[in-house]
Amino acid sequence: MLAIGNLSLIWRSSPDFEIADSSSSYLPVKFGFVKLSVSNCRSKSLGLNGTELRSSVLASIKAMDVSRTSYINGEADNIPDLHQSECNVNDDESNGVSGKTLRQMSTVGKSTNIVWQKCSVEKIDRQELLQQKGCVLWITGLSGSGKSSLACALSRGLHSRGKLTYILDGDNVRHGLNSDLSFKAEDRRENIRRIGEVAKLFADAGVICIASLISPYRKDRGACRDILPEGDFIEVFMDVPLQVCEARDPKGLYKLARAGKIKGFTGIDDPYEPPLNSEIVLHQNGGSCDSPSELAEKVISYLEEKGYLEG
């Protein structure tokens, strides 16, 4: 049953709708038009904006032939399925956004005639569910500086605390999403841009996203920071000298670069631009170095202090 002021709208086994006034008899009608203001279509309780029944408003309620009486906001369990929604309401209205607003088309890059689709479940709801704040930990540094080792140690440490993380490792992403990109400057820029956009989605989902990649250029890292809300991008700089990284050379890449078999290798014949204002800087100089787990604890301490591990 739907209350309209002092009126009630009842779905019955008859294909007609009936409108009842508490002080009068039923008034059968074939069609009615009702302006609805609905914040959540999944609820059986629907609010009606006004008491008018007229032909110029937004959503129509059409007569339905059902096998037995069904009620909205009543006792019945079986509400008939309605066209394209759990409530027969204009989708624009059910999202709490006017049709006029939704029809404001956008152009982003080469994409034209696109509209941002809002949902009633937002980042704050997902964070409450996960009891953490979604963010991006962007680990940058030379090859061999320990980025991937730190990322894995961070993931283990946060997982043991009941926190959900996901690692976007530079090499791993190039196995799939970015397999079409080379290591030329323009492709590196696109590589960073794509990973930044994916990291943004993880953060919006409430996940602590750990991006681990050289990302040698300040401008590209800055662009990734700029697409995230303030405070959601946490830059972690692995400040390890080139000679230490080259001495480690865990993948043998420095040796190949020195032999001229790899062109455009960061630190050898392509520059690395160290961050100027990282949230976290982890120094290692080749002497007594902290283990990945010890470095991870420093990052986790930062997250705890800043409230990222709270719902």
Verify whether residue 8 is a known catalytic residue: no
Closest CA to 92 of 51, 15, 35: 35
Backbone φ, ψ for residue 304 (5° rounding): -65, -45
- SS3 call for 216: coil
Tokens representing 28 are 């059968």
Each residue of 229-254: b (16+ CB within 10 Å) or e?
A: eeebbbbbbbebebebbbebeeeebb
Please give the Cα distance from 269 to 311 (Å, whole number).
Answer: 45
Backbone φ, ψ for residue 218 (5° rounding): -60, -40
Q: Which helix (H) or strand (E) holds 31?
A: strand 31-34
Rounded (to 5) percent helix, strand, coil in the chain: 30, 20, 50
Q: Order of strands, edge to edge, in the sheet holding 27-29?
A: 2-4, 7-10, 17-21, 27-29
- Assess contact for 264 and 270: CB atoms under 8 A: yes
Residue-by-residue DSSP string for 62-112:
E----SS-B-SSSS-S-PPPBTTBSSSS-HHHHTT--HHHHT--EEETTEE
Write down the catalytic residue from 43, 94, 215, 291: 215
- Assess contact for 86 and 40: CB atoms under 8 A: no
Residues marked active site are found at 215
